[in-house]
Amino acid sequence: MTPLTAWRARPARTARPRRSATTPPWLFAAPALAVYALVVLYPAISGVVYAFTDWSGIGQDMSFVGLANFRTLLGDEQAMGSIGNTLLLTLAVVAVQNGVGLLLALGVNARLKSRALLRVIFFAPVVVSPVMVAFLWKYIYNPDPEAGLNGLLGLHVDWLGDPSVALWSIAGMVVWQYAGYSMVIFLAGLEGVPKELHEAAMIDGAGTFQRFRYVTWPLLAPAVTINLMLSTIGGLKLFDQVFAATNGGPGYATETLSTVLYKQAFVFGKFGYSTAVALVLALFVAAVSLVQVYYLRGREVSA
């Protein structure tokens, strides 16, 4: 009740009348917050309890096991291996997706006649379901030397079947899907670069690269922050594409934290342990994003 009474009391505070006008009327958001709390926060937090149990996912048998699940995780060779895969995959996806996204954005931002069409084309894969993308790429990654990518490039690579290649093949299809997403955010950033600065730089004799390096790039920093953060979170949580394309295989070569927690819950029937893995993943994602935002925000400038 405190927020409500505070709100009622506000008109009485005549000493600072402007304050109430500028304070966000967050009470208006209360219904939405209540719904969010009910359908997102409550289940998420109540689920945490399972991380400390040995529940199988079905039936009534459940006992509290303290930190046993987390200790198991530390000794779980497969889960630990999957952390390595997840990090490598994330690193590859973040670097390439944003690099390609930036190039695409710079490209379609130029005065091309077809730029509206190109934007649509590059963005199109983003709206396709990740599982569909995985199925599509299974055909592209056909190991037959005369089919798919092999046929096109004259190669003989077992894209999804060779343990040393499979992880990078998955990174490739994720980049293909989401580079357009990064592009759109970079495009929004490019819109925010004032023309006058470019003109001034041109008058000072700056070339194309110099204008990019000293005018565009610093002003693009907020877009870089968002893009790096989103792609990092996406990479760490990667599931659909891996699951549909390789199911973690061959062997354990493409197992990610998300596929491990899925298998623990639904294949092995270890719901409690799976929740513990999920909790660790969530905390890990939160920690990485916070550090990233803190660091990247520091180097942002405004025009």
Partner 1 sequence: MTDLLHDARVSRAQFFRLMGGLALATAATACSTRPETTATTGGGGTTTDLKFIGVSDQKAPMDKLAAAYAQAKPGVRVTPSYAPTDQVQTSLRTQLGAGNAPDLHVVYPGNGSAMSMSQIAKAGLLADLSAQPWTQTIPAGFKPAFQLDGKTYIYSAGSSVIGAVYNKKVFQQAGVDAPPTTWSEFLSVCDKLKKAGVVPIALGAQTPWVTQLITYALVPSTVYAKDPAFDDKQLAGQASFTGSGWQQAFEMYLELQKRGFFNDKPNGTTFEQQTSMVATGKAAMAVQVSAVLPDFRKAASSPDDLSMFPVPGADDAASVWIPAGVVVGLGVSAKGRNAEAAKAFVDFLGKQENINAWAKEIAAIPLTQDASSTIDPAVQSFLPFTKDRAVPFMDQRWPNAEVQPVHFAVVQELLAGDSTIAEALKKMDEAYRK
Q: What is the DSSP string of 68-117?
A: HHHHHHHH-HHHHHHHHHHHHHHHHHHHHHHHHHHHHHHHHHSS-TTHHH
Instruction: Work out which of 104, 160, 167, 170 binds partner 1, going by CB under 8 A.
Output: 160
Widest Cα–Cα separation across the chain? 81
Separation in Å, CA 292 to CA 24, 74, 198, 269, 295: 28, 25, 29, 35, 5
271 near partner 1, judged by CB under 8 A: yes
240 near partner 1, judged by CB under 8 A: no
Instruction: Work out which of 81, 107, 218, 269 binds partner 1, going by CB under 8 A.
Output: 269
List of residues 6+ apart from 180 with CB closer than 8 A? 101, 104, 122, 123, 124, 125, 126
- Tell me which residues in 50-69 interact with partner 1 (CB under 8 A): 56-61
For residue 167, the minimal CB distance to partner 1 (Å) is 13
Residue 222 vs 249, nearer CB to partner 1:
249
| Nearest residue to 223 (alpha-carbon basis) of 198, 196, 199, 193 | 193
Contacting range for partner 1; rule: CB under 8 A; set: 81-89, 109-117, 248-256, 278-286 = 248-256
* Rounded Cα–Cα distance for residues 20 and 282 (Å): 37
250 near partner 1, judged by CB under 8 A: yes
For residue 173, the minimal CB distance to partner 1 (Å) is 14
For residue 41, the minimal CB distance to partner 1 (Å) is 19
- Tell me which residues in 173-202 interact with partner 1 (CB under 8 A): none
Asked if 165 and 159 touch (Cβ cutoff 8 Å), the reply is yes
Supply φ then ψ for residue 76, to 5 degrees. Answer: -85, 105
Contacting range for partner 1; rule: CB under 8 A; set: 90-98, 173-181, 198-206, 241-249 = 241-249
Terminal Cα distance for the chain, rounded: 44
Contacting range for partner 1; rule: CB under 8 A; set: 40-48, 194-202, 221-229, 240-248 = 240-248
- Count the site residues for partner 1 by CB under 8 A: 31
Supply φ then ψ for residue 110, to 5 degrees. Answer: -70, 165
For residue 43, the minimal CB distance to partner 1 (Å) is 12
For residue 149, the minimal CB distance to partner 1 (Å) is 12
For residue 166, the minimal CB distance to partner 1 (Å) is 9
Contacts with partner 1, residue ranges (CB under 8 A): 56-61, 138, 141-144, 158-163, 246-253, 263, 266-269, 271
